[in-house]
Structure 1
Amino acid sequence: MKMKKCLLIFLLIVTACNQPKQAIDLLVHNAKIYQVNRKFSTAEAMAISNGEILALGSFQDLTKKYIYKEKLDAENQTIFPGFIDAHGHLYNYGLQLQHVDLNNTQSFDELVTRIVDFQEKNQSDYIIGRGWDQNLWENQEFPVNDTLNQLFPDTPISLSRVDGHALLCNQAALDLAGIDISMNVKDGVLLEENGELTGIIIDGPMPLVFDTYPELSDEEAKKALLSAEKECLAYGLTCVADAGLPKRIIDLIDSLQTNEYMQLRMYAMISNTEANLEHYLNQPPIKKEKLVVKGVKVYADGALGSRGAALKSPYSDKVKHFGNMVINLDDFHALAERVSKTEFQMNTHAIGDSANAVVLKTYAKFLQNQSDRRWRVEHAQVMDADEFTFFSKNIIPSVQPTHAISDMHWAENRLGEERIQHAYAYKNLLDNAGILALGTDFPIEGIDPLMTFFTAIARQDENFYPAGGFQKQNAISREEALRGMTIWAAYANFQEDLIGSLEVGKKADFVILNQDLMQVPEEKILSTQVISTYIDGQKVN
């Protein structure tokens, strides 16, 4: 009997050794691969075929099972799932690359200089720019347009504030948009001094200006998308959730991906216009390999920096000013009810505590008998202490850690000592929701996901200010930050079965870095470099 048993084992070993190896496209080895699965496992090697992961493990084990067409020696570098930006503006970022860049201007004079330099080179019929922030200037009051009127009396100029919720327009742009001081403004503000408009427009009336912008051709729009995609891939991003797009641009993205001009995966939120709603909500969500269209992007209020965020009590630095909702409460309620009857997700921009309260209570009402809807609160920036409990895996906080660092210099002036304690409270949000989707809101912030990671855990800027971190009690761990920009972002996009972690059966989207984000000292995180980016097992950067 013993001899027979030994013979059987011998035959099984021989048979196993004679089994033909399976052919695969790519074997990645000599790496530390963070799978970002439930156990947060690591592996040394990864087998890939037809753009999907077949196996992970040791190089020795995988070479016993597979014969490969190509082998990638990672040279002992670190591999992570491809980074996902849960809230960005790819198309707008591409447009900004073609317009006047006003980011980090340190004074109004510098703003004017950049516009003059841009116009000398481009001779544009309509000057468009973005990125100014008066909070960075010595005089932190909103600028006025008199200098622009003198320099450019006949050329319209429209300059978006960094948050996208305020415009500085010269008189030519105001005239073209039909905006004058006699207008009855709802859901926004036209600033005036001495009975004249200053050129500052906040929220509500801004679309009147946007409607006068020169329409871009398909070729120009394509250039914007592809130039933005190139930047994303260079930073290790393999998927972006674009927070608000019209049908025309979604169709263009679909065409570019179908014809393999565009490799980046996209989760598209449709802009809240009747034309978009009528088209998309009357059919099932679009779910293709690289394009998902399932979200509706809504604006509840404006931004804190322009004092447009809707607060329950007045701004601490402006008497009797509460900010404003940019959507009528009845309209918001009706829209939530409409979306709740479809398969679409509702994704609402909410900054102030008043706006967040409206959004959360409305969500709770329409989702009380529905599960796995994953409606999102975009930014969830200022909260009342007792309203964090509304969050769950069905009402998801989608936040941008760099916002806290950009705003920390002046946010307490806006909110006061008490309210600031419940603002940018990412750890508190995570503890209540059990999930936290991370993004950047680019081009409002920079595009680099490593800055997202660093600011989430350190609560400091690139100069390591402030010492000890800004409200460090709301920092999250490295593992939580990584999950937030991979698997939790994928979950928020209904894509967790496809991307977000490196597991068998999922897409082989990954990024190779020259440092281990889980181990490198905090002060060295931002020196990390992207060596290469892969989508579907193919190198795209």
Structure 2
Amino acid sequence: MKKSLISLALLLAPALACAQSTLISNIKGYTLQDDKLLTFNAIEFTDDKITRLYQSGDQLPDLSDRQTSHINGQGKTLLPGLIDAHGHVLGYGLSLLRADLTNTASEQDAAKRVLDYGKQNSDLTWLQGRGWNQVQWPGKTFPGAASLDKYFPDRPVWLRRIDGHAGWANSKAMALAGITKDTVSPPGGEIIRDSRGNASGVFIDNAMTLIESKIPPLTLEEQKAILLKSMNALAGVGLTSVHDAGISVTNLKAYQALSREQKMPIRVNAMLDVTDKQWQDTLRQGPVRDKNDFLKMDSVKVVADGALGSRGAALIEDYSDKHGHKGLLLFSDKALLKVMKTAMDAGFQVNTHAIGDDANKRVLDNYQQLLTTEKKRALRHRIEHAQVLRLADIPRFEQLGVIASMQATHATSDKNMAGDRLGKDRIAGAYAWQKLLKTGAVLAAGSDFPIESPNPFYGLHASITRQDQHNLPQGGWFAGEKMSRLQAFKSFSLDAAYAGHQEQLLGSLAPGKKADFILTDQDIFTVKAQDIWKTRVLATWVDGKRVYQRKEQ
């Protein structure tokens, strides 16, 4: 393996530096054509466009022609660049720079990890982190400020839950935010309180802004640096395009600056967050699209409810493990309809976060009311997550032309919690990939990074096996919802491109389409399904340029 990587590296460097046309041969190539898998053994591209695929029996061009550079693919697998239809690029970049609390064993373990991070970052006023999950801890209860106060009595700490829908603060952070016993939970949010009615330190959904509004915002230059770090890391796992699910106007300006400077290593399809104070003014300026299709913004992100793990997902009936609690709706019915209509009327695609069955029903009802013309329907509106659905609502996606933007690794991460939250009846409509596909709905795959790993091969593995990386549960969790390899591949490629109105440019390899592709160390169509997640990316090309190459190991 080491020898082949070194030889591949030696071939790649000079070839990509000097030639307009490039031929990569000796590969196991796969792409989609007419919903079927097409295989090829060589690919030719000129500048940013593919010019030809060579199949078995086709004669390759004369390799002595100096106008064509040649790369020997060493028999490796070549795939279209994969697309994550729902991630958070700035959030992922920040996660690479902040305390990582994923897979902590307890509240105390998480607090000690922040302590270590604080010692290494003594110049930071606010200590921030992400990734804690109380469901993985003994007792499965929310943490409190006291465990952080022990180490940080005078330094504010703010730690987001793994799903981003709850935050954990210490007493110093709450004091800076002016939180007292009398502070009222805002609409669409909840301040978790102790037995005496005091704020415990955990804030859910809209209540998080009480703390976060006191944290100094990032500058434009800081955002640019973080976005660049994030995009380079994403290229390294085989992503050539991502749909950034909810950006601020400042975030958009940072992207536009990187685009003008021609520094973007991968493509970004950005959704403008409707909670930004300038969102409507920005919509009036019209969609954004740069000349090389590295950046586009012609959609908005709306969040209808919270997340299942923090019991913020809006359910029609009570949570099975919390009587009297149905979750949180982040907008009133009237306000939600108005926001969606405003965006549609401006000609923007509406991508609405909905996790609970109540939120999904309300969003589908709104789409049904608003999609009164073919022009509005053609905008390809989406539901982000579509996690818990009434069985009666599943056919409505295809009927309304609404795309289900779902994340496979949410199912394998949530499998030990979702049954407790939903009970045996509602779980039948949860993470229901095959039920949706059988109705003809389009399913665009993603990861929701940094909540989950951005590695698309983790998502492909979860889609195909319904198992975690320990191959559990045996046979797969609700195995009837497994996808075939072809369905899973399409959800991370052509259907993800379709969800962003880019299927004519991206998502498959064909003459005239963008030269976005990846070389991998194993064949995802022949390797054992349980090993798909182990796939490693050897090199990534975007717009005909190599933007990542794995270092030999």
Q: Same fold (TM over 0.5)?
A: yes
Residues 39-92 of structure 1: CA deviation (Å, up to 9, x unaligned)? 321222222112101111248534169864311111121111001000001111
Contact preservation (8 Å) 1:78, 1:516: yes
Report the AA paired with residue 512 of structure 1: L
- What amino acid is the match of 2:59? D
Q: 2:393 aligns with which of 387, 390, 402?
A: 387
1:188: which partner in 2? 189
How far apart are the structure 1 equivalents of 2:225 and 2:82? 23
Q: Any gaps of 5 or more consecutive residues in structure 2?
A: 1-18, 549-553
What is the CA distance between 1:283 and its match in structure 2?
2.9
Match of 1:11 in 2: none
Whether the 8 Å CA contact 1:238–1:509 is kept in 2: the answer is yes
1:259-281 Cα distance to aligned partner (Å, 9 max, x none) = 12221100000111353322322
**Secondary structure of residue in 2 paired with 1:476:** coil
Q: For 1:324-403, list aligned pairs within 5 A.
A: 324-370=328-374, 371-392=377-398, 394-403=401-410
Deviations 1:198-257 (A, max 9, x none): 011111221222111122233322221121112111101100111011111112112213
| AA partner of residue 240 (structure 1) | V
Equivalent residue, structure 1, for 2:166? 166
Residue 401 of structure 2 aligns with an amino acid whose one-letter code is N
CA distance in 1, matches of 2:503, 2:278: 26
Corresponding residue for residue 15 of structure 2:
none
* Partner residue, 2:16: none
Aligned residue in 2 for 1:13: none
User: CA offset at residue 415 of structure 1?
Assistant: 0.5
**Aligned residue for 2:115?**
116
Does structure 1 residue 218 correspond to structure 2 residue 225?
Answer: no
Aligned-pair CA distance for 1:488: 0.4
Name structure 1 gaps, 5 residues minimum: 1-22
Secondary structure at 2:395 match in 1: helix
**TM-superposition CA deviations, 1:385-432 (whole Å, max 9, x none):** 100011127200000000000000011111011111110111112222
Q: In the TM superposition, what is the alpha-carbon distance from 1:160 to its structure 2 partner?
A: 0.6
How has the CA–CA distance of structure 1 residues 230 and 320 changed in structure 2, closer, same or farther, with 3 Å as cutoff?
A: same
CA distance in structure 2 between the aligned counterparts of 1:537 and 1:274, rounded to whole angstroms: 35
Where do 1:63-82 residues align within 5 Å? 63=61, 68-82=67-81
Preserved CA contact (<8 Å) 2:221 2:254: no
**Aligned residues of 1:240 and 1:265 also touching (Cα < 8 A):** yes
Moved more, 200-209 or 59-68: 59-68
By how many angstroms is 1:433 displaced? Answer: 4.0
Whose Rg is larger?
A: 1
Equivalent position amino acid for 1:344 in 2: F
Alpha-carbon distance in 1 for matches of 2:181, 2:155: 20
For residue 338 of structure 2, what is the amino acid of its counterpart? A
Structure 2 distance, partners of 1:179, 1:395, is 41
* 1:302-327 alpha-carbon deviations (Å, 9 max, x no partner): 00000011000000101111011011
Hey, what does 2:546 align to over in structure 1?
539
Residues in 1 aligned to 2:448 and 2:276: alpha-carbon distance in whole angstroms: 24
Q: Which residue of 1 aligns with 2:179?
A: 179
How far, CA to CA, are the matches of 1:273 and 1:201 in structure 2? Answer: 18
Residue 40 of structure 1 corresponds to 37
Inter-partner Cα distance in structure 2 for 1:530 and 1:126: 36
**What secondary structure sits across from 1:321 in the alignment?**
coil
> Any idea what the Cα deviations from partners look like across 1:435-468, whole Å, max 9, x if unmatched?
2100000000011100000000100000000000
**Whole-Å separation in 2 of the counterparts to 1:128 and 1:433:** 43
Contact kept? 2:465, 2:530, Cα under 8 Å: no
Determine the structure 1 residue equivalent to 2:250: 248
Letter in 1 for 2:547: V
Q: Indicate whether 1:128 and 2:131 are aligned.
A: no
What is the letter of the counterpart of residue 148 of structure 1? Answer: L
1:512 matched to 2:528: no
Shift, 1:29, TM fit: 1.2
Change (3 A) 1:69 1:148: same
Which residue in the other structure is 2:139 paired with?
139
* Separation (CA, whole Å) in 1 of partners of 2:138 and 2:289: 49
Residue in structure 2 matched with residue 16 of structure 1 by the alignment: none
Query: When the two structures are superposed, what TM-score results if normalisation uses the length of structure 1?
Result: 0.93
Counterpart in the other structure of 2:11: none
Aligned counterpart, 1:27: 23
SS in structure 1 at match of 2:327: coil
Alpha-carbon separation, structure 2, partners of 1:388 and 1:67: 56
- Residue 209 of structure 2 corresponds to residue 201 of structure 1: no
Residue identity (%): 38
Alignment correspondent of 1:61: 59
Distance 1:368 1:42 in 2: 42
Return the alpha-carbon distance in structure 1 between the equivalents of residues 147 and 265 of structure 2: 44
Aligned to 2:5: none
Deviations 1:105-161 (A, max 9, x none): 010111111111111111121111110000001120111111222332221111111
Determine which of 474, 483, 500 is the counterpart of 1:476.
483
Q: Which amino acid aligns with 1:402?
A: T
Residues 293-302 or 43-52, more deviating: 43-52
Asked if structure 1 preserves the Cα contact closer than 8 Å seen for 2:457 and 2:534, the reply is no
Could you tell me which amino acid in structure 2 is paired with residue 207 of structure 1? T
**Partner Cα distance (2:464, 2:302) in 1:** 29
- The count of aligned residue pairs is 519
Task: Give the residue type in structure 2 aligned to 1:355.
Answer: A
Correspondences of 1:364-513 after superposition (within 5 Å): 364-370=368-374, 371-392=377-398, 394-513=401-520
Q: Which amino acid aligns with 2:73?
A: A
SS at match of 2:26: strand
Aligned to 2:6: none
Q: CA deviation at 1:294?
A: 1.1
Measured in 1, the distance between the counterparts of 2:197 and 2:383 equals: 39
- The one-letter amino acid paired with 1:466 is P
RMSD: 1.6
